[in-house]
């Protein structure tokens, strides 16, 4: 990675020039303003302050100590003491070629030998996935891919809600109201229907409520009939969720769910009590979190049942034991912030040292009429995807009327799914976003179809070249920089590994989306400003080669976001 090579070099120069300085923060980053150079190092100022020396003098002594570097054309001091770095064109090209010939596309192997657990999607059994689960699935899966690229062993864990008080109600509902045919056809919908019906009955019929409780107790005590029913509900729900996951290209390493930890809850409560953390309060057991500035957290209800928090604490401890992860990442909507703050605080009190990270996202606003399939707050995800594909098909039919129908459908699938995913991923997760079809499917602007279209166009340039000149000239073609637009594109491409790493470390796939969009824009300037097929021989081949490298990086980046890139659109 160019930034890392230069950082190492600058660190050495700082040490040589100022043996006593603390160089731990010395890094080199992309230049904020391209007029001043390609990269810059800003630490001379901070270090000068510590040493009580004039910052420009410090910068000058560092530059003197740095000497020559094979990638670097010039070093300059600017303003109060910035060090601006301009690279040699040869150095840029060589670095780029090296970057794209590796499998990781230059992304460093930061995570080698380490594991992260990513807890995402996590819908509840017998309930449809709501918009929160959909965003969790899409954002979580992008983080999953990003961390794998950084070399981590990722445990993608779909922590489904499969244990809780609702099961007594569902069991009663199932025994009295289930429609077997509907259960086969649309299992989650039918399970939800019987749940709602049974739940409503609990409110007016005390005896019914009692029976629901009794069924729950039986289930928790391991009654074989109720366990079999519970397993059936899980199987039916997972079957339906799976269809969605397959369609979205999402897969998990584990689907353990809350129930996996159920036998650990009593022991955990004992430990909390033993360590003086859980205390009695109005019949319940609670952990006080005053010092943390948080409300108390109930870990056992008055009726003896355990809470969501208790289950999550047990889950952290178990994951810590089993995987010794470098981090556990949770992806849910913003409404669970307090829950995770409480859970993490209690884990700390229990001595857990694993970094725990809650990646929360804002809700997605759906303007009225966005989805014909919307009922209440629940969006039928499959219907949403169907609509995306149908709309994309219309676009593909217009743009490629001569494409065979089957291919049009295949392209529309990739474009429709890509549009939905990208509309989510390209936004800063921690904001509320508004989804509109116009924006998601726009062929110009920051959208998946725009980027997919850019890739397809780039591929077609190469095709046209081959038709006219054949393949032979491309074999040995190297990239040459003969125009400023080429240089800017190459620089932008070289930033790719940094961008991938930043997106992962900030838990923001939007950082990668922005980086890809920037590449597409630089490409577009390049494409509009220089001739390709009409250029002189040699330059022509170089430009086609640069196109190929651009397409390769865009495709790689979109794949990290879980988005496919058809060769034609
Ligand atoms: N099932 C939960 C819900 O639907 C989300 C679970 C998130 N993960 C966790 N470990 N709590 O709200």
Q: Judge whether residue 376 has pLDDT over 50.
A: no
pLDDT band for position 146 (cuts 50, 70, 90): very high
CATH number at residue 486: 1.10.730.10
On whether both 120 and 82 belong to a single domain, the answer is no
Question: Which protein residue's CA is at the shortest distance from atom 11 of ligand 1?
Answer: 312
Q: Which band of pLDDT confidence, cut at 50, 70 and 90, is reported for residue 378?
A: low
If you take atom 5 of ligand 1, which residue's CA is the nearest one?
A: 122
Distance 321 CA to ligand 1 centre (A): 21
Structure tokens at 192: 């939800």
Digit-coded pLDDT (tens) for 412-457: 999 999 999 999 999 998 888 888 888 989 888 899 999 999 999 9
- Assess whether 40 and 132 both reside in one domain: no
Expressed in angstroms and rounded, the spacing between residue 166 Cα and the centre of ligand 1 is 15
pLDDT at 314: 98
**DSSP letter at 104?**
T
pLDDT, tens digit, 9 for 90 and up, residues 39-56: 999 999 999 888 889 999
- Asked if residue 182 and residue 81 are part of one domain, the reply reads no
Q: Contacts by 349-354 with C-beta closer than 8 Å and gap 24+?
A: 349/275, 349/277, 349/287, 350/271, 350/272, 350/275, 350/277, 350/313, 350/317, 352/316, 352/317, 352/320, 354/316, 354/319, 354/320, 354/324, 354/325, 354/326, 354/327, 354/328
The total number of structural domains in the chain stands at: 3
Identify which of 106, 99, 82, 74 has the alpha carbon closest to the alpha carbon of residue 31: 82
In the reported structure, the alpha carbon of residue 331 is separated from the centroid of ligand 1 by a whole-number distance in angstroms of 9
What pTM was computed for the model?
A: 0.93
Same-domain pairing of 525 and 467: yes
3-state secondary structure of 355: coil
Give the closest residue (by CA) to ligand 1 atom 7: 122
Q: Pick the atom of ligand 1 nearest to 339's CA.
A: 11
In this prediction, residue 379 carries a pLDDT of: 55
Instruction: Please tell me whether residues 128 and 261 are part of one structural domain.
Output: yes
**CATH number reported for the structural domain that contains residue 311 in this entry:** 3.40.50.620
Domain boundaries, position 459: 381-560
State in Å: Cα 435 to ligand 1 middle: 23
Segment 492-543, tens digit of pLDDT:
999 999 999 999 999 999 999 999 999 999 999 999 999 999 999 999 999 9
Is 97 contained in some domain? no
Is 380's pLDDT higher than 80? no
Q: Ligand 1 pocket test: which of 120, 127, 161 has the largest number of ligand atoms within 8 Å of its C-beta? A: 161
> Does position 60 have pLDDT exceeding 90, yes or no?
yes
Within-domain flag for 104: no
Average pLDDT score over residue span 94-112: 94
Same domain (yes/no): 65, 130? no
- Of 136, 241, 331, 332, the one to substitute when testing ligand 1's pocket (max ligand atoms within 8 A of C-beta) is 332
Q: Which of 87, 108, 127 is the last residue of a domain?
A: 87
What is the reported pLDDT for 129?
A: 81
Q: Is 284 helix (H, G, I), strand (E, B) or coil?
A: strand
Percent of the chain with pLDDT over 90: 81
CA-nearest residue, atom 1 of ligand 1: 161
In this predicted structure, which of 42-51, 101-110, 133-142, 491-500 has the lowest mean pLDDT?
Answer: 42-51
pLDDT, the chain, mean: 93
What distance in angstroms lies between residue 158's CA and the mean position of ligand 1's atoms? 9
Ligand 1 site residues, Cβ closer than 6 angstroms: 119, 122-124, 159, 161, 312, 315, 330, 332
| CA–CA dist 209, 397 (Å, integer) | 56
């Amino acid at each position: 990675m160019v930034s890392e090579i230069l950082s190492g070099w600058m660190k050495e120069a700082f040490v040589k020039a100022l043996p006593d300085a603390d160089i731990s923060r010395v890094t080199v980053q992309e230049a904020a303003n391209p007029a001043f150079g390609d990269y810059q190092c800003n630490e001379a100022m901070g270090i000068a302050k510590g040493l009580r020396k004039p910052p420009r003098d410090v910068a000058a002594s560092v530059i003197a100590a740095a000497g020559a570097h094979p990638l670097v054309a010039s070093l300059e001091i600017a303003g109060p003491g910035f060090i601006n770095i301009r690279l040699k064109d040869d150095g840029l090209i060589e670095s780029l070629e090296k970057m794209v010939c590796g499998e990781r596309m230059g992304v460093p192997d930061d995570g080698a030998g380490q594991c992260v657990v990513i807890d995402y999607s996590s819908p509840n059994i017998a309930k449809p996935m709501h918009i929160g689960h959909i965003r969790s699935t899409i954002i979580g899966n992008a983080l999953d891919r990003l961390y794998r690229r950084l070399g981590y062993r990722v445990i993608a864990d779909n922590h489904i809600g499969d244990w809780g008080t609702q099961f007594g109600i569902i069991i009663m509902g199932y025994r009295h109201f289930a429609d077997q045919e509907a259960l086969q056809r649309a299992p989650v919908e039918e399970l939800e229907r019987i749940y709602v019906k049974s739940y409503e009955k609990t409110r007016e019929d005390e005896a019914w409520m009692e029976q629901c409780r009794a069924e729950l107790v039986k289930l928790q005590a391991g009654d074989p009939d109720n366990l079999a029913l519970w397993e059936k509900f899980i199987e039916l729900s997972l079957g339906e969720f799976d269809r969605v996951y397959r369609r979205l290209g999402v897969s998990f390493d584990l689907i353990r769910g809350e129930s996996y930890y159920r036998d650990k809850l009593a022991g955990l409560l004992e430990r909390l009590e033993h360590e003086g953390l859980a205390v009695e309060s109005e019949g319940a057991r609670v952990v006080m979190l005053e010092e943390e500035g948080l409300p108390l957290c109930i870990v056992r209800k008055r009726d003896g049942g355990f809470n969501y928090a208790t289950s999550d604490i047990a889950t952290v401890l178990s994951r810590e034991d089993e995987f010794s992860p470098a981090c556990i990442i949770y992806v849910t909507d913003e409404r669970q912030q307090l829950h995770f703050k409480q859970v993490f605080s209690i884990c700390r009190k229990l001595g857990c040292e694993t970094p725990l990270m809650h990646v929360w996202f804002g809700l997605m606003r759906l303007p009225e009429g966005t989805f014909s399939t919307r009922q209440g707050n629940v969006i039928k995800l499959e219907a949403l995807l169907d609509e995306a594909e149908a709309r994309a098909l219309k676009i593909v039919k217009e743009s490629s009327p001569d494409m065979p129908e089957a291919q049009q459908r295949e392209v529309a699938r990739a474009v429709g799914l890509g549009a939905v995913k990208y509309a989510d991923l390209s936004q800063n997760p921690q904001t509320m976003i508004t989804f509109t079809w116009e924006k998601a499917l726009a062929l110009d602007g920051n959208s998946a179809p725009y980027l997919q279209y850019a890739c397809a166009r780039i591929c077609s340039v190469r095709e046209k070249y081959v038709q006219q000149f054949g393949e032979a000239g491309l074999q040995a073609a190297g990239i040459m920089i003969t125009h400023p637009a080429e240089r800017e594109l190459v620089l932008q491409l070289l930033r790719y590994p940094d961008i991938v790493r930043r997106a992962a470390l900030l838990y923001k796939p939007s950082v990668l989306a922005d980086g890809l969009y920037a590449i597409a824009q630089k490409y577009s300037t390049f494409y509009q400003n220089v001739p390709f097929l009409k250029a002189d021989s040699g330059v022509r081949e170089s430009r086609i080669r640069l196109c190929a490298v651009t397409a390769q990086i865009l495709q790689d980046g979109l794949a990290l976001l879980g988005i496919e890139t058809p060769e034609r659109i």
